[in-house]
A and B are shown apart, each in its own frame.
Chain A
Amino acid sequence: DIQMTQSPSSLSASVGDRVIITCQASQDIRKSLHWYLQKPGKAPKHLISDASNLESGVPSRFSGSGSGTDFTFTISSLQPEDIATYYCQQYGNLPRTFGQGTKVEIK
């Protein structure tokens, strides 16, 4: 199984800060990576596919990059509504696997 190592597990930042989350795959997954955000009590919301393709309607302050084993998710200017837990998921191999999640809070 491909292990997805996501870091940090949590972070606290101020409104307007740049936030960076990383996700490392234990094997090459090319660009087969999704990013999601999840708010408490809600289903995850899809943000990015193919490591860097933003879903329609997702604010442009969200972005993703990377390929192979190393990936980055960035919020260019953190907003109060971005408070959530963020997950990466690889879909290059079965079983699909998720990162452990990054909880983003406002400082």
Chain B
Amino acid sequence: EVQLVESGGGLVKPGGSLRLSCVGSGFTFTNGWMSWVRQAPGKGLEWIGRIATKSAGGTPDYDASVKGRFTISRDDSKNMVYLQMDSLKTEDTAVYFCVTALSKSVYWGQGTLVTVSS
């Protein structure tokens, strides 16, 4: 069974930083393109970015709303993907989901809440 478990959410002040982690299991992690999607309270889904497999270059892509502030990385030895969030703004408050697509099936973690507030 594919499982994705996020961690690292919490309360942070505007301008601060936070790193989210996601551990994957039940699939060959090295074959998984990993994405992050967020959902502000009461709002819709917003794609943040993704990171390719190492065999495809391991490069990340970002939405313009977070480019330059957020960094996605992966550690295949630990089956982990990370979202480093810097220069956080109040509008970054959301539940952050880790997502992977395997053979066109899409799997989501349960999400972790990030609250940016003074």
Contacts and interface: CB of A to CB of B under 8 A. Distances in A.
A95 B47 contact: yes
B97 to A, nearest CB: 6
Interface string B68-102: 00000000000000000000000000000100010
Contacts of A91: 101
Contacts of A42: 110
Q: How large is the interface on B (under 10, 10 to 19, 20 to 34, 35 or more residues)?
A: 20 to 34
A45 B39 CA distance: 14
A18 interface: no
B110 A98 contact: no
A11 B62 CA distance: 33
A24 interface: no
Interface in A48-107: 49-50, 53, 55-56, 87, 89, 91, 94-101
A50 B101 CA distance: 12
A94 B67 CA distance: 13
A95 B110 contact: no
Contacts of B107: 46
Interface of A: 1, 34, 36, 38, 42-46, 49-50, 53, 55-56, 87, 89, 91, 94-101
In the A-B complex, the 10 residue pairs with the closest CB atoms:
A43-B108, A46-B106, A49-B104, A96-B47, A95-B63, A98-B45, A101-B44, A100-B44, A94-B61, A95-B47
